[in-house]
Amino acid sequence: MKEALRIAVQKSGRLSENSLKLIKECGIHFDNGIGKLRTVAYNFPAEFLFLRDDDIPGYVQDGVADLGIVGENVAVEKDRNVRIIKRLGFSKCRLSIAVPRTRSYNGIQDLNGKNIATSYPKLLGDYLKEHHISANIHEISGSVEIAPSIGLSDAVCDIVSSGSTLLTNGLKEVETIFRSEAVMIARPEVSAAKEKILKQLLFRLDAVQKGNNSKYILLNAPQEATEKIISLLPGMRSPTVLPLAMGGWNSIHSVVDEDRFWEVIEQLKDAGAEGILVVPIEKMIV
């Protein structure tokens, strides 16, 4: 086989589905038989390895894989010689310290001398050090949230997204120590041939992300409102304006940021826009 990028993704867990979806959106296809640990893409020089997320930074450092998709929390915790080359925007969560709900908490100094259970000793250790707190870090690999109720620790430091797991375990979140999302990590250096493939992949990822973050918008506007509406729509260069068959009206097309979308729609309506259509964008190359 010609040179191919080796990309490590989580075998099964909270990153798997979105990682595979993103790869597919980049137009890269492969057979993903159940239980398969390795597969080769048909239409792109890439090979995929399916691994536990915790092992991915180490494998990328050692060159077993060239790239990997992991939570930023894992990328930083493992402290390997890898670089974060792209933030991927999914699996957003935070790493927080939580204490039993019934316990009073008046600030981080209350953690002095306490036992804190976590699977993230480095991230927690760095945070405590930065805040001049001396606590005992008790490293455990799973089910961290039950540690206080079984008498193993006074507090926990764990991943939180909605907070419902903390709630059902009688805990309250008191400090957020790290905010995470999925990231793509890479070996510090790859061969020139692989660097070329990596560039192609990053180009596709960019196009997919820009598309996901934008909407295509089409609307009708009376001639007299056209100028005002154009000023509200930045577009990629400038909006397209096409006359409708009915005189005195135009159809205006443009691209709007997902983040600004609702605000812009309101302004467009107020300016006299009608028949507004909003369409998803699959890929966007600027």
Q: In the complex, which residues of this chain contact ligand ATP (CB under 6 A)?
A: 10, 13-15, 52-54, 71, 73-74, 91, 93, 159, 161, 180
Nearest residue to ligand ATP, using CB? 71
d(CA 137, CA 148): 13
* Partner from ligand ATP, Zn ion, none binding residue 91, C-beta < 5-8 Å depending on class: ligand ATP
- Least distance between ligand ATP and beta carbon 138 (Å): 18
Of 91-130, binders to Zn ion (CB under 5 A) are none
Q: What is the 3-state secondary structure (H, E, C) of 16-84?
A: HHHHHHHHHHCCCCCCCCCCCCEEECCCCCEEEEEECHHHHHHHHHHCCCCEEEEEHHHHHHHCCCCEE
Whether residue 16 contacts residue 24, with contact meaning beta carbons closer than 8 Å, is answered with: no
- Least distance between ligand ATP and beta carbon 176 (Å): 14
If one asks whether residue 181 binds Zn ion (CB under 5 A), the answer comes out as no
If one asks whether residue 139 binds Zn ion (CB under 5 A), the answer comes out as no
Q: Which is nearer to ligand ATP, 74 or 157 (CB)?
A: 74
- Least distance between ligand ATP and beta carbon 172 (Å): 17
Selected from 54, 110, 139, 206, the binder of Zn ion by CB under 5 A is 54
- Least distance between ligand ATP and beta carbon 162 (Å): 7
- Least distance between ligand ATP and beta carbon 106 (Å): 28
CA dihedral 100, 104, 107, 111 (to 10 degrees): -50
Nearby residues of 220 by Cβ (< 8 Å), 6 or more positions away: 244, 249, 250, 251, 252, 273, 274, 275
d(CA 135, CA 153): 11
If one asks whether residue 25 binds Zn ion (CB under 5 A), the answer comes out as no
